[in-house]
Amino acid sequence: MDAVEADGSSIDEAIESALKLLGVTRDRVEIEILNNAVRGLFGIGGRKARVRATLRAPIDADHAPPSPPARRETAAAPPVAARETSAMTPDDHHAVDRARHVLEEILRHMDVQATVNVRPEDGHVLFELTGDASGVLIGRRGQMLDALEYLLNRIAARDEGGSARIVVDSENYRTRRRAALEELARRMGEQAKKKRKPVTLNPMSPRDRRIVHLILQEDTSLVTKSSGKGYFRKLIIIPAGMSRHRRQAAEPE
């Protein structure tokens, strides 16, 4: 037996069970965290930690052909990060698993049939929602996705030591929205330069405003600033070099 999977009330307990099944010590195996323990929401829906332990190749087997990597059992394990990466710690895995469980409970109470697929990406963990109710999950201008994302990151942040940032998406909305905002930013930037006066965009979320700010930073002939109060604020694109008096006179109240 070259690999086993084992459960436990914690990652350490699951690893210990796997070592007993293989009859080896910890230094003889590679550990893959399939999912962390979940305490459950309101006392229900808890789940044990689960790991896969794979025997390391013997040190004197340098000239032997390499063994094929262990097949990842994605079907049997929940869609939490199916492998441990250098960017995610055990605390991150625990936080992500708990956030995914809460999201599934929220969807159930919303009576929305959707699947939560979780995968690590560069700099964040993606929670991808798929189902027939994608429009409901996205909301107007992505407001539902933003609300879910904010809630899940607050939940994940409760785990001491966890630092994983969660991004919630559905039907590739985030990518499509970014592309649309980048095109809008460039078009409105050209309009501001052509007319030599500020252009004001409709109120946007902080995420959307940041995209516009970043894309127009590349153009030194333009400056941007946010206007208003609250979560949704207007973004103003201003030709560089305008006097403060002219700029204030042209800006909306």
In a domain, 179, yes or no: yes
CATH code for the domain in which residue 219 is found: 3.30.1370.50
Task: Out of 171, 198, 225, pick the residue that ends a domain.
Answer: 171
Highest mean pLDDT among 14-18, 92-96, 150-154, 187-191: 187-191
Between 64 and 168, where is the model more confident?
A: 168
**What is the mean predicted confidence (pLDDT) over 172-184?**
93
**What is the mean predicted confidence (pLDDT) over 211-215?**
93
User: pLDDT of 71-118, one tens digit each?
Assistant: 443 333 344 433 333 457 777 788 888 888 999 999 988 888 889 999
In a domain, 13, yes or no: yes
CB count in 10 Å sphere of residue 122: 5
Whether 146 and 180 map to the same domain: the answer is no
- Decide if pLDDT at 64 tops 50: no
* Separation of alpha carbons 159 and 41, rounded Å: 15
Binning pLDDT at 50, 70 and 90, where does residue 56 land?
Answer: confident
pLDDT reported for residue 235 = 94
Domain count, the chain: 3
In a domain, 201, yes or no: yes
Whether 83 and 165 map to the same domain: the answer is yes
In a domain, 23, yes or no: yes
SS3 assignment, position 212: helix
The pair phi, psi for residue 157, each rounded to 5°, is: -70, -15
pLDDT reported for residue 133 = 73
Name the one residue in this structure whose structure tokens are 């969660």.
166
> Which residue blocks in 110-252 are alpha helix, DSSP H?
134-138, 143-157, 173-195, 206-216, 244-250
* Separation of alpha carbons 115 and 131, rounded Å: 6
The boundaries of the domain holding residue 129 are 78-171
Spatial contact of 156 and 163, defined as CB atoms under 8 Å apart: no
In a domain, 73, yes or no: no
CATH code for the domain in which residue 166 is found: 3.30.300.20
Whether 150 and 197 map to the same domain: the answer is no
pLDDT reported for residue 92 = 79
Whether 212 and 229 map to the same domain: the answer is yes
Whether 55 and 40 map to the same domain: the answer is yes
Whether 64 and 100 map to the same domain: the answer is no
- Decide if pLDDT at 244 tops 70: no
Whether 54 and 120 map to the same domain: the answer is no
Where is average pLDDT lowest: 55-59, 97-101, 230-234? 55-59
Where in the chain does DSSP place strands (E)?
A: 3-8, 29-35, 49-55, 114-121, 124-131, 166-170, 199-204, 222-227, 233-239
